């Protein structure tokens, strides 16, 4: 296998999405088994100034869908943040995965060194395809997936590293 920008992205994102789906399924089962309302875990957060589990999943999937679209210079598809259940978050993961997989690998790889800007509410940042993916897209994606895992684990759900790695 040749190491390309697309293989790095796909090899990082797709297994972690599978892991995120796994830990969400285990959290949902935990709620059913212990008679907990789903919102008990979905609304939990690690610290008062952090986002709750639902928002962590939404942001992780936002990075999933946006990273390759931004690298290739395409408009980023919208996914409204309306999820209120584990089932809806699972559906969101599938939508984000489908959007990620819809981006042509050759188009991603052709833009490894192409410079572009991303306008955020707080700043405009300049990247190449490689720097965006490696220094912004993937680190943010991993942060929110790991934080989601940590919130679920904090709530007593029996998950481990192999769930995160989806080994």
Class of domain 5-165: mainly alpha
CB neighbours of residue 130 within 10 Å: 15
- Please give the Cα distance from 115 to 160 (Å, whole number): 39
Q: How confident is the model over 108-156, as pLDDT tens digits?
A: 999 999 999 999 899 999 999 999 999 999 999 999 999 999 999 999 9
Count CA atoms closer than 13 A to 96's CA, side-chain side. Answer: 29
Beta bridge mates, 163: none
Domain boundaries, the chain: 5-165
Mean pLDDT along residues 69-88: 96
Record the pTM: 0.95
Q: Where are the beta strands (DSSP E) in the chain?
A: 115-119, 124-128
CB neighbours of residue 49 within 10 Å: 6
Q: How confident is the model over 27-66, as pLDDT tens digits?
A: 999 999 999 999 999 999 999 999 999 999 999 999 999 9
pLDDT band at 74 (very low <50, low <70, confident <90, very high): very high
From residue 77, give the alpha-carbon distance in Å to each of 70, 111, 118, 166: 10, 19, 15, 27
- Please give the Cα distance from 7 to 151 (Å, whole number): 29
């Amino acid at each position: 296998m040749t190491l390309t920008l697309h293989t790095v992205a796909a090899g990082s994102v797709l297994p972690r999405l599978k892991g995120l789906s796994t830990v969400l399924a285990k959290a949902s089962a935990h709620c059913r088994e212990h008679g907990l309302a789903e919102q008990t875990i979905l609304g939990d957060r690690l610290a008062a100034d952090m986002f709750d589990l639902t928002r962590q999943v939404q942001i992780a999937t936002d990075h999933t869908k946006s990273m390759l679209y931004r690298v290739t210079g395409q408009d980023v598809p919208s996914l409204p943040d309306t999820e209120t259940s584990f089932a809806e978050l699972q559906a969101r993961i599938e939508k984000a995965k489908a959007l990620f997989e819809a981006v042509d690998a050759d188009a991603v790889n052709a833009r490894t060194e192409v410079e572009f800007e991303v306008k955020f509410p707080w700043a405009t940042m300049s990247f190449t395809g490689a720097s965006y993916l490696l220094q912004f897209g993937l680190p943010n994606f991993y942060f929110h997936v790991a934080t989601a895992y940590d919130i679920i684990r904090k709530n007593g759900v029996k998950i481990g590293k192999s769930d995160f790695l989806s080994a």
